[in-house]
Amino acid sequence: MNERKIKTAVLISGGGTNLQALIDAQKSGIIKHAEICAVISNRADAYGLERAEKAGIPHYVVEKEKTVKDPSGKPDENDSRIKQADFERKIVEILKSSGAELIVLAGFLAILSEDFTRLYPERIINIHPSLIPSFCGKGYYGLKVHEAALSYGVKVTGATVHFVNEIPDGGKIILQKAVYIKEGDTPEILQKRVMEEAEWELLPKALELVSEKMLKKSV
């Protein structure tokens, strides 16, 4: 009889390198207590969808409609809230239909509302390319994080896996790993080294850790 595993949905926006790290870790047995049951992208051109296809994982695209502007030229806040709610409703439908119990944000650049995160308390984990609480929160994503680290002149950066709550990058830390900054680093070089030395190692370990704890609690 097969041991039960925590069904996990991975949300992406781009190339899916962290998704690939999870797929590889699942195949190699590093991840024993979780199983990727769905990949959801908020962009139809995300290469991570091809990674999911090659791995035989069901994959979906949920794109958020653009918000209209009011007569003053500013985004219509009411329209924005409606579109956000619709965007999240479609994601929840996929999560429910796939049986997902845990969500991994792996380079998912869309903001999720408090209404969404409240549905999955300590069931959403995210990878962030810095040592939180440094260079995190609203506006810190992608290369912007590494640009800030180099601009500030820190000697050590890294990656953090944390639970997601209503505060951007504000949830409980699960795992962290430091990466040293080297002379001559550019944001692109640093981004690659943080991914290779920290992100691709931490995220599978965190998923295994969280899923194992979830299974023990369910016994």
Whole-number pLDDT of residue 1:
40
Whole-number pLDDT of residue 3:
85
d(CA 73, CA 129): 34
Catalytic residues: 128
Counting residues of the chain whose pLDDT is more than 70, the rounded percentage is 95
Q: What is the CATH number of domain 6-218?
A: 3.40.50.170
How many CA atoms are closer than 13 Å to the CA of 216, on its beta-carbon side? 6
Averaged pLDDT for residues 61-82: 78
* pLDDT band per the 50, 70, 90 thresholds, residue 159: very high
Whole-number pLDDT of residue 68:
61
Q: Where are the beta strands (DSSP E) in the chain?
A: 6-12, 34-41, 59-61, 102-105, 124-128, 156-163, 173-180
Whole-number pLDDT of residue 127:
96
Whole-number pLDDT of residue 66:
72
Global confidence as pTM: 0.91
Averaged pLDDT for residues 120-132: 96
Whole-number pLDDT of residue 123:
97
Q: Where are the beta strands (DSSP E) in 119-217?
A: 124-128, 156-163, 173-180
